A and B are shown apart, each in its own frame.
Chain A
Amino acid sequence: QQQVKQSPQSLIVQKGGISIINCAYENTAFDYFPWYQQFPGKGPALLIAIRPDVSEKKEGRFTISFNKSAKQFSLHIMDSQPGDSATYFCAASRSNDYKLSFGAGTTVTVRA
């Protein structure tokens, strides 16, 4: 049973464009929502995370938008660069154990 659903499976964006990845969750006990970036042959690395008490968080070119009532959150990558080409995973957990439930991933390709 997948607790976090992620879309799209893949996307292609031109250099300088905006990449948008969406996730939805069911478990209302989740209170921590991170996004991870993974390059081939590497482990995931934390990009940015949000808690449901805020609706948006921005770090550099990366922004999380969070909609608690809809149980949805999204990652926006502004001014996409070829170095951003990677697989991105959304995840969710509860703050008592931080056991992460991941989405299936989105492969982002940035064309120069």
Chain B
Amino acid sequence: DTGVSQDPRHKITKRGQNVTFRCDPISEHNRLYWYRQTLGQGPEFLTYFQNEAQLEKSRLLSDRFSAERPKGSFSTLEIQRTEQGDSAMYLCASSSTGGGRYNEQFFGPGTRLTVL
């Protein structure tokens, strides 16, 4: 399977714990995006990378959130000191800037986080 993969698919944690999610993009894609989706809402942009450079972070991304993309390959999203309001589906998407279908973003299946 050459699509976007995310791990884990589900994570249950207690308030105050740290969690880390991983995203493996489509191998030739140089852009990688993170979104957060709460129940009944559309995904909201969090941050994006072009290769290893983090180009933008949303104001939604508090200081407790950090994302990395070492060597421009996989990416990790870490949430420190989780809060119940962090419970959501975290989606990763990747795309290519090489033209074609309007730089289509391919989404992974998401990581569902539940903070107790």
Name A residues whose Cβ lies closer than 8 Å to a Cβ of B: 4, 6, 32, 34, 36, 41-46, 49, 51, 89, 91, 95, 97-105
> In the complex, which of the residues A42, A49, A102, A103 contacts B109, with contact meaning CB atoms closer than 8 Å?
A42
B44 touches A98 (CB 8 A): no
B42 touches A105 (CB 8 A): yes
Name B residues whose Cβ lies closer than 8 Å to a Cβ of A: 4, 31, 33, 35, 40-45, 48, 55-56, 91, 93, 95, 101-110
Expressed in whole angstroms, the Cα–Cα distance for A41 and B89 within the complex equals 10
Residue of B nearest to A105 (CB): B42
B107 touches A44 (CB 8 A): yes
A99 touches B33 (CB 8 A): yes
Residues of B within 8 Å of A41, CB to CB, are 109
Residues of A within 8 Å of B43, CB to CB, are 44, 89, 100, 102
Expressed in whole angstroms, the Cα–Cα distance for A91 and B33 within the complex equals 15
Q: A6, A41, A43 — which one has the most chain B CB atoms within 10 A of its CB?
A: A43
A102 touches B105 (CB 8 A): no
Residues of B within 8 Å of A43, CB to CB, are 4, 91, 93, 107-110
B42 touches A46 (CB 8 A): no
Residues of B within 8 Å of A102, CB to CB, are 42-44
Residues of A within 8 Å of B104, CB to CB, are 34, 46, 49
Expressed in whole angstroms, the Cα–Cα distance for A11 and B98 within the complex equals 37
Residue of B nearest to A9 (CB): B40
Known: A98-B95, A102-B43. A51 touches B110 (CB 8 A): no
Residues of B within 8 Å of A49, CB to CB, are 101-102, 104
A17 to chain B, nearest CB (A): 24
